[in-house]
Chain A
Amino acid sequence: MDKNEKREITLSLNENTSLIENEFKDSQDIKTSYFTFKNKKAAAIFIETLINEEKLSKIIFERLPGVENTPGEISEVISSSTVTTEKNTDKIVDKLLNAYVVIFSEGSDQAICFSVAENLSRDMQEPGNEMVIRGAHNGFIEDLNTNIHLIRKRIANKNLAVKYFKVGKKTNTNIAIVYMNEIANPSLVQEIEKRIRAIESDMIFNPGYMEEFLEDQPSSPFPEMLMTERPDRAMANILDGRVALLTADSPTALILPSGFFTFYQSPDDYNSRFIAGSFYRMIRMFAFFIAIFFPALYIATISYHLEVIPGELIIPIKSSIERIPYPPIIEALIMELTIELIREAGIRLPSPIGQTIGIVGGLVIGDAVVQAGLVSNITIIVVAGTAVASFVVPSPEMNTAVRMLRFPFMFAAASFGYIGISLCFILMVMNLCKLEPFGSPYFAPLAPLQLSGLKDSLIRFPDWKMSKRPKEVHPEQTTSQGPNREWDKNDSGE
Chain B
Amino acid sequence: MKYSIKLFLLCLLLLFTAGCWDQLRLNDVDLIYAMGIDKTEEGDFKATVSVPRSTGGQDSGQLTSDIFSTTGKTIRELRVNLDNTIGGLLDSSKIRVILVHRALAEEDLYTILDSFYRDPRAPLASKILITEEKAESLFQGITEKPELISEYFVDLVQSAERDAIVPVVNLQNICPVMLDRGRDFHLPLISSVSSSGGNSLVTGTALFTGKKMSGQLTNNESIIANLLSDIVSKNDKIIMTTNLPDNGQSESHGYITYQIDEYKTKMNIIPKEGSYEAEFDLHLFLNVLEYPPDKLSEHDTVAKLNQDVEDDLQILTDNTVKKLQESGSDLFGIRREIMAFHNDKFDEEEEAWKESYAEMAVNVNVEVEIIHHGIIN
A interface, CB within 8 angstroms of B: 219, 302-304, 306-307, 309, 311, 314-324, 327-329, 370, 373, 376-377, 408, 411-412, 414-415, 417, 420
CA distance in complex: A306, B58 (Å): 18
Q: Which residues of A contact B26 (CB under 8 A)?
A: 302-303, 306, 309, 314, 317-318, 321
B1-34 Cβ-contact flags toward A at 8 Å (1 or 0): 1011001000100110111101111110101010
Please tell me if the beta carbons of B27 and A324 are within 8 angstroms of each other in the complex. yes
Give chain B nearest CB distance to A365 CB in angstroms. 16
23 A–B contacts from the bound complex (CB under 8 Å): A219-B1, A219-B4, A303-B19, A303-B26, A304-B23, A304-B24, A306-B94, A307-B93, A311-B96, A315-B61, A315-B63, A315-B148, A318-B54, A319-B58, A320-B58, A323-B27, A323-B58, A324-B27, A327-B19, A373-B58, A408-B14, A411-B11, A415-B14
Give chain A nearest CB distance to B238 CB in angstroms. 28
For B7, B14, B31, B61, the residue with the greatest tally of chain A CB atoms inside 10 Å of its CB is: B14
Q: Is B333 an interface residue (CB 8 A)?
A: no
Q: Which residues of B contact A307 (CB under 8 A)?
A: 93-94, 121, 123
**Chain B positions 35-88 with a Cβ under 8 Å from a chain A Cβ:** 52, 54, 56-58, 61, 63
Give chain B nearest CB distance to A428 CB in angstroms. 11
- Residue of B19, B56, B57, B148 near A414 (CB, 8 A) is B19
Give chain A nearest CB distance to B250 CB in angstroms. 54
Other contacts beyond A306-B24, A327-B19: 6, CB < 8 A: A307-B94, A307-B123, A311-B33, A323-B27, A328-B25, A417-B22
Give chain A nearest CB distance to B127 CB in angstroms. 11
CA distance in complex: A376, B58 (Å): 8
State the main secondary structure of chain B at its contact with A: loop
Please tell me if the beta carbons of B17 and A415 are within 8 angstroms of each other in the complex. yes
Q: Is B91 an interface residue (CB 8 A)?
A: yes
With A315-B52, A319-B54, A320-B58 given, is the CB distance from A306 to B14 under 8 Å? no
Q: Which residues of A contact B29 (CB under 8 A)?
A: 306
Please tell me if the beta carbons of A315 and B25 are within 8 angstroms of each other in the complex. no
Q: Which residues of B contact A376 (CB under 8 A)?
A: 58
Give chain B nearest CB distance to A405 CB in angstroms. 12
Give chain A nearest CB distance to B128 CB in angstroms. 15
CA distance in complex: A420, B20 (Å): 13
Please tell me if the beta carbons of B91 and A415 are within 8 angstroms of each other in the complex. no
Give chain B nearest CB distance to A333 CB in angstroms. 11
Chain B minimum-CB-distance residue to A378: B58
Chain B minimum-CB-distance residue to A329: B18
Please tell me if the beta carbons of B4 and A415 are within 8 angstroms of each other in the complex. no
Give 5 closest A-B pairs by Cβ, nearest first: A319-B54, A219-B4, A307-B93, A415-B18, A414-B18
Give chain B nearest CB distance to A435 CB in angstroms. 12
For A311, A322, A411, the residue with the greatest tally of chain B CB atoms inside 10 Å of its CB is: A311
Give chain B nearest CB distance to A401 CB in angstroms. 15
- Residue of A314, A370, A411 near B18 (CB, 8 A) is A411
Q: Which residues of A contact B7 (CB under 8 A)?
A: 219
Q: Which residues of A contact B91 (CB under 8 A)?
A: 306
- Residue of A302, A314, A412 near B94 (CB, 8 A) is A314
CA distance in complex: A342, B27 (Å): 29
For B25, B27, B63, B148, the residue with the greatest tally of chain A CB atoms inside 10 Å of its CB is: B27
CA distance in complex: A302, B26 (Å): 6
Please tell me if the beta carbons of A304 and B22 are within 8 angstroms of each other in the complex. yes
Please tell me if the beta carbons of B61 and A319 are within 8 angstroms of each other in the complex. yes
- Residue of B4, B22, B58 near A370 (CB, 8 A) is B58
Q: Which residues of A contact B121 (CB under 8 A)?
A: 307
Chain A minimum-CB-distance residue to B147: A315
Chain B minimum-CB-distance residue to A376: B58
CA distance in complex: A415, B12 (Å): 11
Please tell me if the beta carbons of B25 and A327 are within 8 angstroms of each other in the complex. yes
CA distance in complex: A420, B25 (Å): 16
With A219-B4, A314-B94, A320-B58 given, is the CB distance from A303 to B14 under 8 Å? no
- Residue of A303, A370, A373, A377 near B23 (CB, 8 A) is A303
CA distance in complex: A311, B3 (Å): 44
Give chain B nearest CB distance to A300 CB in angstroms. 10
With A219-B1, A304-B24 given, is the CB distance from A314 to B31 under 8 Å? yes
Give chain A nearest CB distance to B52 CB in angstroms. 6
CA distance in complex: A321, B47 (Å): 29
Q: Which residues of B contact A316 (CB under 8 A)?
A: 61
Give chain B nearest CB distance to A301 CB in angstroms. 8
CA distance in complex: A303, B22 (Å): 9
Please tell me if the beta carbons of B93 and A306 are within 8 angstroms of each other in the complex. yes
Please tell me if the beta carbons of A408 and B17 are within 8 angstroms of each other in the complex. no
Q: Which residues of A contact B31 (CB under 8 A)?
A: 314-315, 318
Chain B minimum-CB-distance residue to A310: B94
With A219-B4, A306-B91, A377-B58 given, is the CB distance from A329 to B24 under 8 Å? no
Please tell me if the beta carbons of A321 and B93 are within 8 angstroms of each other in the complex. no
Chain A minimum-CB-distance residue to B126: A311
Please tell me if the beta carbons of A412 and B25 are within 8 angstroms of each other in the complex. no
Q: Which residues of A contact B23 (CB under 8 A)?
A: 303-304
Give chain B nearest CB distance to A222 CB in angstroms. 14
For B26, B31, B33, B61, the residue with the greatest tally of chain A CB atoms inside 10 Å of its CB is: B26
CA distance in complex: A373, B94 (Å): 26
Give chain A nearest CB distance to B55 CB in angstroms. 9
Q: Which residues of B contact A306 (CB under 8 A)?
A: 24, 26, 29, 91, 93-94
Q: Which residues of A contact B3 (CB under 8 A)?
A: 219
Please tell me if the beta carbons of B14 and A420 are within 8 angstroms of each other in the complex. yes
CA distance in complex: A314, B19 (Å): 21
For A304, A319, A323, A414, the residue with the greatest tally of chain B CB atoms inside 10 Å of its CB is: A319
Give chain B nearest CB distance to A110 CB in angstroms. 52
Chain A minimum-CB-distance residue to B23: A303
- Residue of B1, B14, B52, B63 near A412 (CB, 8 A) is B14
CA distance in complex: A376, B25 (Å): 14
Give chain B nearest CB distance to A480 CB in angstroms. 37
Give chain A nearest CB distance to B87 CB in angstroms. 13
CA distance in complex: A316, B63 (Å): 10
- Residue of B4, B11, B17, B27 near A318 (CB, 8 A) is B27
Chain B minimum-CB-distance residue to A420: B14
Q: Which residues of A contact B57 (CB under 8 A)?
A: 323, 373
Chain B minimum-CB-distance residue to A316: B61
**Chain B positions 182-225 with a Cβ under 8 Å from a chain A Cβ:** none
CA distance in complex: A306, B11 (Å): 25
Please tell me if the beta carbons of A322 and B14 are within 8 angstroms of each other in the complex. no
Chain A minimum-CB-distance residue to B150: A311
Give chain A nearest CB distance to B28 CB in angstroms. 10
With A303-B24, A306-B29, A307-B93 given, is the CB distance from A322 to B54 under 8 Å? yes
Give chain A nearest CB distance to B49 CB in angstroms. 15
Chain B minimum-CB-distance residue to A328: B25
With A307-B94, A370-B58 given, is the CB distance from A322 to B17 under 8 Å? no
CA distance in complex: A219, B1 (Å): 7
CA distance in complex: A376, B91 (Å): 22
Q: Which residues of B contact A302 (CB under 8 A)?
A: 25-26
Give chain B nearest CB distance to A40 CB in angstroms. 63
Please tell me if the beta carbons of A415 and B24 are within 8 angstroms of each other in the complex. no
Please tell me if the beta carbons of B58 and A411 are within 8 angstroms of each other in the complex. no
For B20, B52, B57, the residue with the greatest tally of chain A CB atoms inside 10 Å of its CB is: B57
